[in-house]
Amino acid sequence: MTTTVKARLLIVDDEVQILRLLRHSLEAEGYEVHEAKNGLSGIKKAAAIHPDGIILDLSLPDLDGLKVLERLREWSPVPVLILSVRDSMNDITSALDAGADDYLTKPFHERELLSRVRAILRRSQVVSQPAVARFGDVEVDPNARLVRRGGQEVHLTVKEYAMLLLLLQHRGRVVTHRYILRALWGPEAEEDTNYLRAYIIRLRQKLETNPSVPQYLLTEPGIGYRLTEE
């Protein structure tokens, strides 16, 4: 990565081997890496060094990772990626609801980790004007409210377009069902996940080359959807 200013990352994890591995991978990408081995020192370090992003484990020796996240969110909007062996949907959604930006379960692939880190760091960058976004042969121009696929204009309904835009704004990061439902249909629709399935199927049919095996509009089972970066 060829950033002029190195992004500063804080890893909160009590496993030495994981810390070493993460440090190695992230430093190779040009990040400045700091470590904390428990929740409380993680919070202190976050206050001291003002990291651009935090990688947080949920199983910590002193505080539960969720508690650490809640305490952080009391004063800091810093992007947080959860990296944990806990893989139940309950754990993941409660972490996302508590303010985590994304989630990755161990064991993980290095490539995936790096792409998640890039995605959460991008959130803090201010986008002055929405640019034209591309994935596959699809082109989305938010200024003209235009969606093209292979040069051909694709007609999207209002809600379909709104959902696509929502995923684009959070590109590379997971967007929870609840978040989408609330944004598109209001808080009373939070439980109506069948709406979402129907819409994402329609979006895939219009935008994916093979709607049954989507390449871009990915499902995060039980949690939400993610629009891939590449």
Partner 1 sequence: MVTPPSHSNQLKPQTSAGQRINSVTPLRFEEAQPSGWREYLLVAGVIAALTGAGLLLPESYYVQVGLLYLLAINLLSLRVGRAPILTAGILAAFCWDFLFVPPYFNFAIYNLEDILLLITYFVVALVAGQLTARIRAQARNERLRQERATALFQFTRVLAEAKTLDEAANMAVRHMNDLLGVQTALVFTRENTLELEPPAPASFAIDGNELQSATTALSSRQSVGRFTEVQSNAVGYYLPLVREEQVFGVLGIKIPPGKILTNGQKELLEAFSQQLALMIERARLRAAGEREKLLAESEKLHRALLESVSHELRTPLAVIMATCDKFSNYNSDNYAGFVAEIRTAGMRLTHLVGNLLDQTRLDSGPLKPHLDWCDPRDLINAALRGAAGALVNHPLEIMVSDDMPLVRIDFALAEHMLVNLLLNAALHTPAGTPVSIIAGLDAASARVFFAVADRGPGFPALLREQLFKKFVRGEAAPSGGLGLGLSIVRGFTLAQGGEVVLGDNPGGGAKITLYLPHFVAKNSPPE
Q: Which residues of the chain form contacts with partner 1 (CB under 8 A)?
A: 15, 17-18, 21, 24-25, 59, 85-90, 106-111, 157-159, 185, 192-201, 212-214, 219, 221-222
Count the Cβ atoms, other than its own, within 10 Å of residue 92.
Answer: 26
DSSP code of 188? G
Residue type (1 letter), 217:
L
Of the pair 152, 194, the CB lying nearest partner 1 is at: 194
Of the pair 87, 97, the CB lying nearest partner 1 is at: 87
Of the pair 76, 185, the CB lying nearest partner 1 is at: 185
Q: Give least dist CB 167 to partner 1, A.
A: 15
Tell me the two tokens of residue 10: 């804080």
Count the Cβ atoms, other than its own, within 10 Å of residue 187.
Answer: 9
Taking the CA atoms of residue 148, residue 150, residue 155 and residue 159 in that order, the dihedral angle to the nearest 10 degrees is: -60
Of the pair 2, 17, the CB lying nearest partner 1 is at: 17
- Strand order in 217-220's β-sheet? 174-176, 224-227, 217-220
Q: Give least dist CB 219 to partner 1, A.
A: 4
Rounded Cα distance, 155 and 92, in Å: 34
Q: Give least dist CB 19 to partner 1, A.
A: 10
Q: Give least dist CB 74 to partner 1, A.
A: 26
Of the pair 78, 174, the CB lying nearest partner 1 is at: 174
Cα atoms in the Cβ-side hemisphere of radius 13 Å centred on 63: 18
Rounded Cα distance, 135 and 40, in Å: 41
Q: Give least dist CB 196 to partner 1, A.
A: 8
Q: Give least dist CB 89 to partner 1, A.
A: 6
Of the pair 116, 123, the CB lying nearest partner 1 is at: 116
User: Taking the mean position of all CA atoms in its chain, how far away is CA 208?
Assistant: 21
